[in-house]
Chains A and B, each alone.
Chain A
Amino acid sequence: MMNLLLHISAVIIAVSILIALYRVAKGPSMPDRVIALDMIGINLISLVAVVSLILETTAFFEVMLLLGILAFIGTVAFSKFIEKGVVIERKRD
């Protein structure tokens, strides 16, 4: 019963990643795509968690932490690029 629920959950998360991918492809403006990419990163964390529940292994925990950190840093860099045009500012004042 638990395995059936876990497999259904993995399929549902994969479907929601595909729906967010549609928003990445279509999105009218740049921040739409960035928000959809952020949500894809969040969903990847949950997909890795469900896979590690199905396989009953602890080997993927670092993968979840790294995916979270990379998704957050990517969102911050993209938002700074959209707002100011650069990611790393050289001018100091």
Chain B
Amino acid sequence: MSVNEISGLIIGIIVFLGSVLSLISAIGLVRLPDIYTRSHAATKSATLSVLCILFGLFLFFTVIKDYVSARILLGIVFVFITAPVGGHLISRAAYHSGVSLWESSIHDELNGKKDKQHTSS
């Protein structure tokens, strides 16, 4: 096997790992019981999967094609910054718009602090 074949195999395995993480995240999005646990599934593992796949793409064009692309690095940084912010914003909007927790949830930190936070913000 030449160097290109071995690095191609490694890149294929990284991309495959990212796609499996994406499938796990989709299964979590369907199976979990309420919006807050679903946001846990949809933001963390989906972000990790897209980071894996973009890193594989960067490795492919760097090692095999000899083309270092700054746009992929920019995409990695942008996704890594914005995905947790989006998940946090939508969970906050869900709590303030009164979406109820799962009935087996035992603890609610924000319970009773909702009005005070609204007047201060």
Which residues of A are interface residues toward B (Cβ below 8 A)? 1-6, 8-10, 12-13, 15-17, 19-20, 22-23, 29-32, 34-36, 38-39, 42-43, 45-46, 49-50, 52-53, 56, 58, 61-62, 64-65, 68-69, 71-72, 75-76, 78-80, 82-83
Contact = CB atoms under 8 A, between A and B. Distances in A.
A12 B86 contact: no
What 9 A-B pairs come out closest when comparing CB atoms? A5-B12, A16-B26, A9-B19, A31-B94, A2-B8, A2-B12, A79-B93, A19-B26, A75-B86
Contacts of A82: 90, 93-94, 97
B23 A31 contact: no
Contacts of B25: 16, 39
B57 to A, nearest CB: 5
B42 A38 contact: yes
A58 B67 CA distance: 10
B40 to A, nearest CB: 10
Interface of B: 5, 8-9, 11-13, 15-16, 18-20, 22-23, 25-27, 29-30, 35, 38-39, 42-43, 46-47, 49-50, 53-54, 56-57, 60-61, 65, 67, 69, 71-72, 74-75, 78-79, 82-83, 85-87, 89-94, 96-97, 99
B72 A39 contact: no
Contact of B57 (A12, A53, A75): A53
Query: Which of B18, B19, B50 lies at the interface centre, i.e. has the most chain A CB atoms within 10 A of its CB?
Result: B19
B96 A23 contact: no
B93 A43 contact: no
Contact of A56 (B16, B65, B71): B65
17 contacts: A2-B12, A10-B19, A13-B23, A19-B29, A20-B29, A22-B30, A31-B97, A35-B42, A42-B47, A42-B50, A45-B54, A58-B61, A65-B78, A68-B82, A69-B78, A72-B86, A75-B86
A52 B11 CA distance: 13
A3 B11 CA distance: 10
